[in-house]
């Protein structure tokens, strides 16, 4: 079957291209080794940050467990999971942000500071959630979904 019009021109141009020089410039062993080293540094830094966050967040979770109980901690973790929240959590007092009704057994609301409301695609949301712990004390986390 013969290509027609636009497709015919693209196929002709692709066949005529000299890709050897492009391939040789991009796929050099030195380039690949340099790229591998850079990626290894990035992944090591990311793993170190995640380990630091896990230690920090674990301390906060233990404090919630000890002071508010297992069911409260389960609701906190469920809310974080539902919100796709990730971060090095913070404890903050009385944030001045929008209240949002929630249906958790341990708390009936969270506070939300949303800075991305739909994005370009209409389904991107991001901001901070604040989960109530004790009177005036909230667990703050970034979320993005």
Condensed to tens digits (0 to 9), the pLDDT of residues 6-64 reads 566 666 666 666 555 555 555 566 667 788 888 888 888 888 888 898 899 899 999 99
SS3 state of residue 133: strand
pTM above 0.85, yes or no: no
Strand arrangement of the beta sheet that strand 90-93 belongs to: 90-93, 137-144, 124-134, 109-118, 98-101
Q: What are φ and ψ of residue 59, in 5° steps?
A: -65, -40
SS3 state of residue 23: helix
Pick from 72, 93, 75: which is nearest to 140 by CA? 93
- Cα distance between the two ends of the chain: 46
41-45, 117-121, 132-136, 141-145 — most confident range = 132-136
Q: What percent of the chain has pLDDT over 90?
A: 41
pLDDT of residue 86: 80
pLDDT of residue 40: 86
Position 68 confidence tier, pLDDT thresholds 50, 70, 90: very high
pLDDT of residue 93: 96
């Amino acid at each position: 079957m013969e290509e027609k019009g636009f497709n015919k021109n693209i196929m002709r141009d692709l066949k005529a291209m000299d890709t050897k020089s492009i391939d040789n410039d991009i796929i050099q062993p030195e380039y690949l080794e340099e790229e591998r080293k850079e990626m290894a540094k990035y992944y090591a830094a990311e793993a170190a940050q995640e380990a630091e966050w896990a230690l920090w967040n674990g301390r906060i979770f233990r404090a919630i467990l000890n002071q508010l109980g297992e069911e409260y901690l389960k609701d906190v973790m469920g809310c974080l999971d539902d919100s796709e929240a990730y971060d090095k959590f913070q404890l903050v007092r009385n944030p001045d942000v929008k209240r949002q009704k929630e249906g958790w057994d341990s708390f009936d609301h969270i506070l939300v500071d949303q800075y991305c409301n739909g994005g370009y695609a209409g389904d991107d949301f991001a901001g901070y959630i604040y989960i109530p712990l004790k009177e005036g004390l909230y667990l703050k986390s970034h979320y993005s979904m």
